[in-house]
Amino acid sequence: SFDPPSVPAAPGPFPLPAGQVALVVIDMQRDFLLPGGFGETLGNDVDQLAAVVPPLQRVLAAARDAGLMIIHTREGHRPDLSDLPPAKLRRGLPSLRIGDQGRYGRILIRGEYGHDIIDELAPLPDETVIDKPGKGSFYGTDLQAILTEAGITQLIVTGVTTEVCVHTTVREANDRGYEALVLSDCVGSYFPEFQRVGLDMITAQGGIFGWVTDSATLLQHLS
């Protein structure tokens, strides 16, 4: 019998059928990773996310070499804020709100320097960039249509933050019938305990909404 390629993961092997796998890089934007961006205005220590960049650079390079579809997402809003629900604008006690002028342009607004992806992980011209108004990558976007058109069934999910946009995206993907593998060292949280528990939540109950492995294990099995 013929077994499709797979990669060791928790709670079990994650299938990597040829031509059906995409790498998803979530919200690796200056607004979340650099001081002076949206993440810091919310009161977070952005240094917590820096460790994700080197392993994610290696995975992105390997995925490009392997010919995987590459999808980058960016959380943000139209300059006129017409896609920003008042409830999201009002949320929390940030030092600057979405749309306010910050160090890198207007906070979380499309077209601004801070909204774009960090130089280390800049998309190539033939890669897909999804602009999303929410935490999930499916809500309010054409991601599902793009995946269907490309025949993708398996998502390798990376980016920030683990318990917010990564979780929301993986849960949305699971409910839509996709299988999602989260790379533990390629996702990051501002909160170490949320990173640990966020990963545990995915694989508990027999993998209730996904799989988890690390970048070194994936790189050994990506060809």
- Looking at 47-55, 63-71, 77-85, 161-169, which segment touches ligand TIU (CB under 6 A)? 161-169
What residues numbered 173-192 form the site for ligand TIU, per CB under 6 A?
190
Start-end of H helices in the chain: 30-33, 38-41, 53-65, 86-90, 143-150, 167-175, 192-207, 215-221
Q: How far is the CB of 64 from ligand TIU (least distance, A)?
A: 23
Active site residue 165: yes
42 interacts with ligand TIU by CB under 6 A = yes
112 interacts with ligand TIU by CB under 6 A = no
Q: How far is the CB of 67 from ligand TIU (least distance, A)?
A: 27
User: If phi over 0 gives left and psi between -120 and 50 gives alpha, with beta otherwise, what is residue 152?
Assistant: beta
202 vs 153: CA distance, rounded Å: 18
Count of residues touching ligand TIU (by CB under 6 A): 10
Q: Of 210, 193, 64, give the one whose Cα is nearest residue 126.
A: 64
Catalytic residue among 116, 135, 165, 186, which? 165
The distance between the two most distant Cα atoms of the chain, rounded to a whole number of Å, is: 60
Active site residue 132: yes
For ligand TIU, the binding residues (CB under 6 A) are 27, 32, 42, 75, 135, 160-161, 164-165, 190
